[in-house]
Amino acid sequence: MSRLNYHHLYYFWQVARQGNLTKTAQNLHISQSALSSQIKQLEESLHVSLFTRQGRKLQLTESGYHALNYANEIFKNGEELEQLLTSGTALPSTPIRIGILSTISRNFIEQFVQPLLDQNDCRFSLQSMSQTGLLNAMNELQLDMALTSITVHGSNINNWQSRVLARQPVAIIGPPGLDLKPELGESYRHRRWIVPYGENPLRTAFNSFAAQYKLEPEIVAESDDMAMLRLLTRDIGALAIMPEVVVKDEIDSGELKNYMLLPNVYENFYAVTTKRRVVHPKVGMLIRPLN
């Protein structure tokens, strides 16, 4: 199996960007014949033609265009690797990899990454996974940071660092036009409800209030996914408990209404990082308090 000669590829890359063999040879301080020979060896090893001549100019073939696209990425990654190993910092243009808890509010995620959307030179990836998946990916350096609504505690083994980004009050949300008071009591009894599923702090709080105020709720749907709670609340017409940010668009449009805030009940959003030698330069910008 033949191996790609990256020295030859580098010479091809320089010529392809310049479009002129003579000028490229001068810039690289080698003879034109030597440069031409290097590119010919690359073509022979790959069994393709990378250039055609049009007068004094070199024109990329279809294979040449493909090779150029890959070479751009290869040598850009090489530049990033060199800076990473020599200075311990990544280039600002290096894509930042953000893991997100699969059940977290999509509206909150969009608010979180807004600073990246405002920058033309910034690339990022969002990878949705479970809490265990997030922490494993952080340990294996597959992510630069994680966004979650579940508390994370570091240890001597796991160097996770967790910081609260926002503390969102939890509201009772439902269709407009219901005769509901701004405090828990008789008007909320025997209502249909959509609630978080399982061992969720919001579900625990709801169960406590339901017992305290004898609400006798009819649970019509449960989900551990905020996006699904949003859709169910919008389509079923029952009451639900969630941070207002989850259904911000529906409340702004009048499709849903915030009837009251549950007293002393909040959902926290955390940014999780790990102690590491190389930290992406965009992490510090993102880890900021959010409203």
Kindly indicate the confidence band of residue 22, based on its pLDDT and cuts at 50, 70 and 90.
Answer: confident
Tell me: the pLDDT tens digits for 209-220?
999 999 999 999
What is the pLDDT at residue 72? Answer: 84
Task: Mention every residue, 6+ apart, whose C-beta is less than 8 A from residue 194.
Answer: 219, 220, 221, 222, 223, 229, 232, 233, 236, 238, 239, 240
Contact criterion met (CB below 8 Å) for 278 and 232: no
Tell me: the pLDDT tens digits for 35-56?
889 889 988 888 899 988 876 6
What is the pLDDT at residue 80? Answer: 66
Domain range annotation of the chain? 6-87, 96-166+270-286, 168-266
Angle between the N-to-C axes of helices 32-46 and 6-18, in degrees from 0 to 180, rounded to the nearest 10: 120
Q: Is residue 291 scored above 60 in pLDDT?
A: no
- pTM exceeds 0.75 for this model: no
d(Cα 277, Cα 285) in Å, to the nearest integer?
Answer: 18
Domain 168-266 adopts which CATH fold? D-Maltodextrin-Binding Protein; domain 2 (3.40.190)
What is the pLDDT at residue 27? Answer: 87
Q: What is the CATH number of domain 6-87?
A: 1.10.10.10
Q: Given this chain, do its domains 96-166+270-286 and 168-266 carry the same CATH topology?
A: yes
Please give the helix or strand (H or E) that residue 14 lies within, else none. Answer: helix 6-18
What's the one-letter identity of residue 73?
E
Q: Is residue 231 scored above 50 in pLDDT?
A: yes
Domain spanning 96-166+270-286, CATH architecture:
3-Layer(aba) Sandwich (3.40)
Tokens standing for residue 289: 């308090």
